[in-house]
Amino acid sequence: MNAEIIAIGTELLLGQVVNTNATFLSKELATLGIEVYHQSVVGDNPKRLKEAIELAEKRSELVILTGGLGPTKDDVTKQVVAEHLGKELVIDEAAMKKIRLFHKQRKHPMTENNQLQALIIEGSVVLKNNNGLAVGMFLNLENQSFLLLPGPPHELEKMFEQEVKPLLLKQTSKETVLLSRVLRFYGIGESRLVTLIDDLIENQLNPTLASYTGKYEVSLRLTANGSSNTECEKKLDNLEAIIRERAGDYIYGYGDDNSLVEVVSKLIKEKKLTLSAAESLTGGAFQSMLTSTSGASEFFEGGLVTYSNRIKEEQLNVDRKIIDQFGVVSSQCAIKMAENVRQLFNSDIGISFTGVAGPLELENKKPGTVWIGIAVKNKETYAKCFNFEGDRNKNRELSVLSGLHLIYRDLLD
Amino acid sequence: MNAEIIAIGTELLLGQVVNTNATFLSKELATLGIEVYHQSVVGDNPKRLKEAIELAEKRSELVILTGGLGPTKDDVTKQVVAEHLGKELVIDEAAMKKIRLFHKQRKHPMTENNQLQALIIEGSVVLKNNNGLAVGMFLNLENQSFLLLPGPPHELEKMFEQEVKPLLLKQTSKETVLLSRVLRFYGIGESRLVTLIDDLIENQLNPTLASYTGKYEVSLRLTANGSSNTECEKKLDNLEAIIRERAGDYIYGYGDDNSLVEVVSKLIKEKKLTLSAAESLTGGAFQSMLTSTSGASEFFEGGLVTYSNRIKEEQLNVDRKIIDQFGVVSSQCAIKMAENVRQLFNSDIGISFTGVAGPLELENKKPGTVWIGIAVKNKETYAKCFNFEGDRNKNRELSVLSGLHLIYRDLLD
Report the C-alpha gap between B104 and B304 in whole angstroms. Answer: 62
Report the C-alpha gap between A393 and B259 in whole angstroms. Answer: 15
Report the C-alpha gap between A385 and A258 in whole angstroms. Answer: 27
Report the C-alpha gap between B265 and A363 in whole angstroms. Answer: 24
Report the C-alpha gap between B315 and A213 in whole angstroms. Answer: 40
Is residue A113 classed as helix, strand or coil in its secondary structure?
helix
Q: In the beta sheet, which residues pair with residue B304?
A: A304, B278
Convert the pLDDT of each residue in A359-398 to its tens digit: 999 999 999 999 999 999 999 999 999 999 888 988 999 9
Closest CA to A383 of A333, A312, A313: A333
Q: List Cα–Cα distances, B248 to A108, B184, B252, in angstroms.
A: 18, 10, 9
Convert the pLDDT of each residue in A199-243 to its tens digit: 888 787 788 887 777 667 788 888 888 888 899 999 999 999 999
Count the Cβ atoms, other than its own, within 10 Å of residue A338: 28
CB < 8 Å to B14, chain A = 26-27, 30, 36
CB < 8 Å to A114, chain B = 191
**Contact in structure between B276 and B345 (CB atoms under 8 Å):** yes
Q: Where are the domains of chain A?
A: 2-172, 177-254, 260-412
> Is B345 in Cβ contact with A311 (below 8 Å)?
yes
Using CB atoms, pick whichever of B288, B315, B345 lies closest to residue A302: B315
Report the C-alpha gap between A167 and A249 in whole angstroms. Answer: 37
For residue A359, whether the previous peptide bond is cis, meaning omega lies within 30 degrees of 0, is yes
> Is A358 in Cβ contact with B13 (below 8 Å)?
no
Please name the fold of domain B2-172. Answer: Molybdenum Cofactor Biosythetic Enzyme; Chain A (3.40.980)
User: In this model, does residue A175 exceed pLDDT 60?
Assistant: no
Using CB atoms, pick whichever of B15, B38, B286 lies closest to residue A42: B38
Report the C-alpha gap between A26 and A19 in whole angstroms. Answer: 11
**Contact in structure between B384 and B403 (CB atoms under 8 Å):** no
- How near does any CA of chain A get to the CA of B61, in Å? 16
For residue B153, whether the previous peptide bond is cis, meaning omega lies within 30 degrees of 0, is no
Closest CA to B140 of B117, B167, B173, B174: B167
Residue type, B314: E
More reliable by pLDDT, B110 or A402: A402
**Contact in structure between A117 and A126 (CB atoms under 8 Å):** no
How high is the pLDDT of residue A176?
Answer: 64
- How near does any CA of chain B get to the CA of A397, in Å? 10
How high is the pLDDT of residue B16?
Answer: 80
How high is the pLDDT of residue B116?
Answer: 84
CB < 8 Å to B393, chain A = 292
Complex ipTM: 0.72
Mutation pick from B4, B11, B31, B39 vs chain A, by most beta carbons of A within 10 Å, is B39
Closest CA to A343 of A372, A311, A318: A318
How high is the pLDDT of residue B174?
Answer: 58
- How near does any CA of chain A get to the CA of B23, in Å? 4
Mutation pick from A21, A39, A155, A310 vs chain B, by most beta carbons of B within 10 Å, is A39
Q: Are strands A349-355 and A275-279 parallel, antiparallel or unpaired?
A: parallel
Q: Label residue A183 by pLDDT band (50, 70, 90).
A: very high
Fold matches, A2-172 and A177-254: no
**Contact in structure between B110 and B103 (CB atoms under 8 Å):** yes
Count the Cβ atoms, other than its own, within 10 Å of residue A320: 11
> Is A43 in Cβ contact with B42 (below 8 Å)?
no
Closest CA to B251 of B187, B192, B181, B189: B187
Report the C-alpha gap between B144 and B2 in whole angstroms. Answer: 11
Is residue A31 classed as helix, strand or coil in its secondary structure?
helix
DSSP code, position B71: S
Residue type, A354: T
Closest CA to B383 of B349, B338, B327: B338
How high is the pLDDT of residue B260?
Answer: 92
DSSP code, position B362: B
How high is the pLDDT of residue B173?
Answer: 59
Mutation pick from A307, A308, A318 vs chain B, by most beta carbons of B within 10 Å, is A307
How high is the pLDDT of residue A174?
Answer: 60
Report the C-alpha gap between B41 and B38 in whole angstroms. Answer: 10
Convert the pLDDT of each residue in A255-311 to its tens digit: 876 789 999 999 999 999 999 999 999 999 999 999 999 999 999 999 999 999 999
Using CB atoms, pick whichever of B15, B40, B42 lies closest to residue A27: B15
What are the two backbone dihedrals, phi and then psi, of residue B15, each rounded to the nearest 5 degrees? 75, 20
Convert the pLDDT of each residue in A304-357 to its tens digit: 999 999 999 999 999 999 999 999 999 999 999 999 999 999 999 999 999 999
Report the length, in residues, of chain A.
413
Closest CA to B218 of A11, A21, A113, A98: A11
Convert the pLDDT of each residue in A124-143 to its tens digit: 999 999 998 899 999 999 88
- How near does any CA of chain A get to the CA of B15, in Å? 4
User: Would you list the DSSP string of A74-101?
Assistant: T--HHHHHHHHHT--EEE-HHHHHHHHH
Angle at A71 between CA A67 and CA A75, to 5 degrees: 40
CB < 8 Å to B287, chain A = 283-284, 305, 307
Report the C-alpha gap between B306 and A265 in whole angstroms. Answer: 18
Using CB atoms, pick whichever of B48, B304, B393 lies closest to residue A302: B304
Give domain B260-412's CATH superfamily: CinA-like (3.90.950.20)
Q: Are strands A89-91 and A119-121 parallel, antiparallel or unpaired?
A: antiparallel
Query: Does the domain at residues A177-254 carry the CATH identifier 3.30.70.2860?
Result: yes
Closest CA to B204 of B222, B220, B219: B222
CB < 8 Å to A291, chain B = 281-285, 305, 307, 357, 396
Report the C-alpha gap between B232 and B247 in whole angstroms. Answer: 22
For residue A166, whether the previous peptide bond is cis, meaning omega lies within 30 degrees of 0, is no
Low-confidence ranges of chain B (pLDDT < 50): 175
Q: In the beta sheet, which residues pair with residue A140?
A: A145
